[in-house]
């Protein structure tokens, strides 16, 4: 039988994305490009095991906000902030299974731009988001930041979280996302990395109480 995609080459493997059998070449070329590959696909998992992180020189420097310095010490001092923001991203992605790495990166990048403007000029101007999905991601992040400040206020009597700290944390996550994603249009490698940190496998619920550790890219 021929491949369900190209209809030319011989089929050799089952593709859960098309619910049919396809050839290895179409699998490799269309994986996370035109195909919404489920995370449990063995061929997707095998490909990720052999994928190397994209070199920094293959990523637009402006996309990484290289003008923002994120010292290593910051990641230890603000570990709870980084965990909270990562949890917010995981929660947003879990609520909408159509979200992919590009959606998270776009929302994070827009937030970085807004906070950078706030830090450098004092002007609060929200960077426009191109989709309702990205708006929901940004709303989840802002909600988490509000809760974080309220928790600090409750336990310390004041909040020590500065806008510059939020900017650094968001930039760190943007860089982490670029380091984790495959770069393909429908990649969910970064999304699934977040799920691995917070998703309780038994219930399928995103939990902030799950033991986790953010890995420095």
pLDDT of residue 214: 41
End-to-end CA distance of the chain: 44
pLDDT of residue 29: 95
pLDDT in tens, the chain (217 residues): 899 999 999 999 999 999 999 999 999 999 999 999 998 999 999 998 887 766 666 778 889 999 999 999 999 999 999 999 999 999 999 999 889 999 999 999 999 999 999 999 877 666 667 788 889 999 999 999 999 999 888 888 888 899 999 999 999 999 999 999 988 999 999 999 999 888 754 455 556 544 444 433 3
Residues 2 and 105 in one domain: no
71's tokens: 């010292």
Residue 115 lies in a domain: yes
- Containing domain of residue 46, as a range? 1-50
Residues 36 and 12 in one domain: yes
pLDDT of residue 16: 95
* Number of separate domains in the chain: 2
Residue 101 lies in a domain: yes
Residues 81 and 178 in one domain: yes
pLDDT of residue 6: 95
Residue 214 lies in a domain: no
pTM of the predicted model as reported, rounded to 2 decimal places: 0.85
pLDDT of residue 201: 46
Residues 66 and 172 in one domain: yes
Residues 120 and 172 in one domain: yes
Residues 46 and 123 in one domain: no
Residues 3 and 95 in one domain: no
pLDDT of residue 132: 87
Contact 86, 172 (CB under 8 A): no
Residues 83 and 35 in one domain: no
Residues 181 and 156 in one domain: yes
Nearest CA to 185 among 109, 105, 101? 101
Residues 105 and 176 in one domain: yes
Compute the CA torsion angle 193, 198, 200, 205 (nearest 10 deg): -100
Residues 158 and 70 in one domain: yes
Q: How many other CB atoms are there within 10 angstroms of residue 94's CB atom?
A: 17
Which conformational region is residue 193 in: left (phi greater than 0), alpha (psi within -120 to 50 degrees), or beta? alpha
């Amino acid at each position: 039988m021929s491949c369900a995609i190209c209809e030319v080459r011989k089929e050799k493997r089952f593709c859960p994305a098309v619910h049919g059998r396809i050839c290895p070449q179409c699998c490799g070329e269309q994986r996370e490009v035109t195909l919404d590959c489920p995370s449990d696909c063995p061929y997707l998992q095998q490909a990720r095991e052999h994928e190397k992180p994209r070199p920094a020189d293959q990523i637009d420097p402006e996309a990484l906000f290289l003008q923002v310095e994120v010292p290593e010490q910051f990641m230890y001092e603000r570990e709870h902030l980084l965990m909270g923001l990562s949890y917010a991203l995981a929660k947003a992605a879990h609520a909408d299974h159509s979200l992919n790495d590009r959606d998270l990166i776009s929302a994070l990048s827009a937030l970085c731009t807004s906070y950078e403007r706030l830090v450098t000029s004092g002007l609060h101007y929200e960077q426009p988001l191109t989709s309702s999905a990205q708006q929901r991601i940004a709303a989840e992040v802002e909600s988490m930041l509000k809760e974080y400040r309220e928790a600090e206020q409750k336990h310390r009597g004041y909040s020590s979280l500065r806008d510059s700290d939020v900017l650094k944390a968001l930039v760190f996550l943007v860089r982490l996302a670029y380091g984790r994603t495959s770069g393909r249009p429908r990649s969910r490698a970064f999304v699934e990395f977040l799920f691995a940190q917070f998703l309780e496998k038994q219930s399928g619920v995103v939990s902030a109480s799950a033991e986790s550790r953010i890995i420095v890219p």
